[in-house]
Structure 1
Amino acid sequence: MVHAEVAVLGAGAAGLSLAHRLAQAAPGARRVSAVLVDAPPGPLRPPSRTWCFWEQDAGPFDAALTAEWRSLRVHTPAGRPIQDDIAPLRYKMLRSDDFERLVARGLAHSDDVRRLEATVETVHGDARGAEIRARAADGRPVTVHARWVFDSRPLARLPAARTTLLQHFRGWFVRTERPVFDPATVDLMDFRVPQPPRGLAFGYLLPTGRHEALVEYTRFSDAVLPREAYEDELRRYTQDVLRLGAFEVTATETGVIPMTDARFTRRPAPSVFRIGAAGGATRPSTGYTFSAVQRQTRAVADALHAGRDPAPPPAHPARSRAMDAVMLRALDSGRVDGAAFFAGLFARVPMERLLRFLDGGTRLREDLSVGVRTPVLPMLRTVAELPWLARTPSAGP
């Protein structure tokens, strides 16, 4: 039987981030005993993936970054490039394997946080604490008792919502024969790909050298595609749009991210909290999650080290969630053309301000300045419609 003040379930971005912060207590801070419960190697452990986020200047995970950029570019459906310097922000690329190695090094030198490989089967919590029943890889039952539980495991089913779209993508890590990439600039959204009748599609290019890049095909819609469809779109994009010439695919990446206006329960039991995507950290309008995870886990770790109630704060401001609900509904209903909507925003709003807006870091006046640069009449019609829409269950990805 394992006893700890804190149990962290799942070792994705949120679980690893919280464990890392608990192991990095400031001098004089209250010490917190914690156990990170991670599934053994197998289908319940998430595959390698890439996280991108933006922050100002240096950050705590810079040692593990694959690359970072200050120049972003968007291509309109007609092919016009829109490029801007996002200083003082930096757009950063972090591979999950590199992040896990960085966290593992910190945990190896911590007396407060231990790691346990086991598959969680049940979690029962009340006002006094929680009991976690799990099973080790060899079939041995494991029980963990903790005062607080932070569960970052994916939800089996999404909460009921008025609108749920899926951001689904496939990416190729490529190495070209010719030096075709500009390693100083990210192509954040390239709309020079065929657009679906509803939703939108775009290319995404993260160059890590003159010959190397991650190239993705991404779509916002209500259903995923067959794998062959992603491969066809990537071949078309790399050959007909980017004109890369000869290249080899060194690795692949696939993902599905729910974009929903559902209300996520952050405290399913008095001593149990959900964090990360399961706790609503994914920004509904973009699918970005990593920055919100850092805000959540920083607040939780600070509260625990100070001896306060460690309830995670909302991942995004209420005003941001309300604006996202309008955008999702307008996109899903077909009232706005998705590619034109996003291309128009990047054309009319400085990218640095738009990124701060997408991260919930803008003031009301700045939010309004972004809002008036959207298709006003379709958005107002959607605002009037939303209160009358029922929230319905969604199977999710």
Structure 2
Amino acid sequence: MTTPDYYYVIIGGGLAGLQLALRLHQDVFFKGKKIAIIEPSNKSINDKTWCFWEEGRGSWDHLITKKWKKGKFISSEITKDLDLDPYSYKMLRSLDFYEYAKEKLETSENIFFIKDKITKIDQVTRTAIGEASNYTATHFFDSRPPSNFEKDEKSSIIYQHFKGIKIKTEKAHFNPDVFTMMDYRIKHKDNTCFTYILPTAKNEALIEFTFFTPSLTDEKVYDDKIEQYIRSILKIDDYGELESEKGIIPMTDYPFHDQNSKYITKIGTAGGWVKASSGYSFKNTERKIDKLIDNIKSGLKLSANLMSKKYQFYDAIFLDVLEQRNDLGESLFTKLYTKNSIQDIFRFLDEETSFSEELKIMLSLYHAQFLKSFFRKI
């Protein structure tokens, strides 16, 4: 084989691709290795807002828009105050991340941004085939999910789909020190859906209406529910819309990791790096990349130990419950937040708990559907 064009090719310049490129750039182990980031778009707009929790200072604190130490969970019947200490809940705009990453990486002599869309990877010739050109490499990091994963009959899938608007009011309506994790008072049919509020000032907040459902809905539904929440719950009549965002995040137990091979490692959503039971991805991606880098430097298979079978099974059961009985969402999340500390919930979602702690959380959620889903998945 002739000398490849690049040592690594990263297909996709989103969250996973840029986080990976930054880690490769920062580590002297990879000094001198040519790396290409191939992405069809300019990543020049704020297309999403990432939120995550962590203890103390983190790698991205210089980019965050806002952080909170206190939150709320609200159902039809209860309001639970959430004291997050020692954690903080942090908000990061995607555009700020894209601009920071590009500024850092464009100064590198061995990292190249290429605007193109990859349609196929030929593993025999180790060639990524693009619409504009072809690119050879010793290894590919591929963020493109397989086209058929949503139709896999063996897998459960719940879509986290949402629309959010950032509003500004003339009067002070928000407490900027407290965010709302979930508010179930505005409903839509028998769906699992809630409102999520990130206040950035006394008169500014991002308000998102979010579904966890097996199917999607029309954009008008989001608009109507956001308007209803602002008018009837927040009691705000006059406000201006500063910006909006919308998205669809697949929460699934599809075995993305089975797509890894000797020359291709799937990353991001395509690698199963979105936490299947919650839809959170930012810190999960950071942890997966740390492990990936360790594997490379240790001479291990790149995808070794990236996924925990135990937590994948927990996620699969929970997804199946919501897929079979989507009407149970409010009840299940109410049990989760009222019968467990927010610290234990965070550690469980971060896959840091012991089996006894996991058992306590699972028992707190008990419903007969869990047994049915357990046997369906086992």
TM-score by length of 1: 0.88
Q: Which amino acid aligns with 1:102?
A: Y
Alignment check: 8 A CA contact 1:336 1:375 kept: no
Residues 1:89 and 2:87 aligned together: yes
Q: Decide whether the 8 Å contact of 1:275 with 1:312 is kept in 2.
A: no
**Does residue 1:323 correspond to 2:319, yes or no?**
no
Counterpart of 2:180? 187
Q: 2:295·2:304 contact (CA, 8 Å) conserved in 1? A: no
**Structure 2 residue aligned with 1:394:** none
Instruction: Flag structure 2 segments of 5+ consecutive residues without an equivalent.
Output: none
**What amino acid is the match of 1:121?**
T
Contact 1:74 1:82 in 2 (8 A): yes
CA contact (8 A) 1:217 1:234 kept: yes
TM-superposed CA distance for 1:309, in Å, is 4.0
**TM-score, reference length from structure 2:** 0.92
Check conservation: 1:266, 1:312, Cα contact below 8 A: no
Deviation at 1:207, TM superposition (A): 0.9
Q: 1:296 pairs with 288, 292, 295, which one?
A: 288
3-state SS in 1 of match to 2:269: helix
- Cα 1:358–1:316 change in 2 (3 A) is farther
- Residue 232 of structure 1, CA deviation: 0.6
- Determine if contact 2:4/2:138 at 8 Å carries over to the other structure: no
Indicate the residue corresponding to 1:390 in structure 2. none
Could you tell me which residue of structure 2 aligns to residue 363 of structure 1? 354
Please give the residue correspondences for 1:263-282 in structure 2 after superposition, counting only pairs within 5 Å. 263-282=255-274
Task: State the Cα distance separating 1:101 from its structure 2 match.
Answer: 1.1
Separation in 1 of the partners of 2:172 and 2:145? 40
- The structure with higher relative contact order (CA 8 Å, sep 6+) is 1
Instruction: Tell me the residue number matched to 2:118.
Output: 120
Cα distance change, pair 385–153 in 1 and its aligned pair in 2 (3 A): closer
Opposite residue 308 of structure 2, the aligned amino acid is P
User: How many residue pairs get matched?
Assistant: 373
Contact 2:73 2:82 in 1 (8 A): no
DSSP 3-state at the match of 1:20: helix
Distance 1:313 1:184, change over 3 A: farther
Q: What is the alpha-carbon distance in structure 2 between the residues aligned to residue 229 and residue 318 of structure 1?
A: 37
Q: Give the letter aligned to residue 48 of structure 1.
A: D
What is the identity, as a one-letter code, of the residue corresponding to 1:23?
Answer: H
Residue of structure 2 equivalent to 1:15: 17
Structure 1 residue runs of 5 or longer lacking an equivalent are 136-140, 388-397
CA apart distance, 1:244: 2.6
**Which secondary structure state, in structure 1, belongs to the residue aligned with residue 262 of structure 2?**
coil
Change (3 A) 1:337 1:63: same
Paired residues of 2:46 and 2:93 also in contact (CA < 8 A): no
- Aligned partners of 1:92, 1:316: CA distance in 2, in Å? 25
Out of 244, 250, 254, the position equivalent to 1:252 is: 244
Cα 1:312–1:182 shift into 2, 3 Å: farther
Structure 2: distance between partners of 1:315 and 1:174: 39
Q: Deviations over 1:340-391 (max 9, x none)?
A: 110111011000111111121211111011111112433223312333xxxx
Change in CA separation of 1:317 and 1:46 when aligned onto 2, cut-off 3 Å: farther
Corresponding residue to 2:130 among 111, 127, 134 = 134
Pairing 1:349–2:340 present: yes
Contact 2:158 2:322 (8 Å CA) reproduced: no
Query: For the residues of structure 1 that align with 2:45 and 2:310, how far apart are their CA atoms?
Result: 32
Q: Which residue of 2 aligns with 1:25?
A: 27
One-letter amino acid of the counterpart of residue 9, structure 2 = A
The match for 2:330 is 339
Change (3 A) 1:17 1:115: same
Q: Do the aligned partners of 1:326 and 1:386 also contact (CA within 8 Å) in 2?
A: yes
Report if the CA contact (8 A) 1:331-1:338 is conserved: yes
Which has the larger share of strand?
Answer: 1
Contact kept in structure 2, 1:9 and 1:15, CA below 8 Å: yes
Measured in 1, the distance between the counterparts of 2:170 and 2:30 equals 55
Q: In structure 1, how many angstroms separate the alpha carbons of the residues matched to 2:301 and 2:102?
A: 24
**CA shift at 1:313, angstroms?**
4.5
**Residue 153 of structure 1: CA displacement?**
2.5
Secondary structure at 1:64's aligned position in 2? coil
In structure 2, the CA distance between the partners of 1:313 and 1:202, relative to structure 1 (3 Å rule), is: farther
Give the C-alpha shift of residue 60 in structure 1: 1.2
Contact 1:17 1:294 in 2 (8 A): yes
Q: Which residue of 1 aligns with 2:56?
A: 57
Structure 1 contact 301–310 (Cα < 8 Å) conserved? no
**RMSD value over aligned CA atoms?**
2.2
| 1:38–1:117 CA contact under 8 A, matched in 2 | yes
Q: Is contact 1:22–1:113 with CA below 8 Å preserved after alignment?
A: no
Residues 293 and 315, structure 1, Cα contact 8 Å, conserved in 2: no
CA displacement at 1:326 relative to structure 2: 1.5
Does structure 1 residue 109 correspond to structure 2 residue 107?
A: yes
In structure 2, the CA distance between the partners of 1:16 and 1:30, relative to structure 1 (3 Å rule), is closer
SS of the aligned residue for 1:62 comes to coil
Contact persistence 1:330–1:336 (CA under 8 A) = no
Q: Which amino acid aligns with 1:295?
A: R
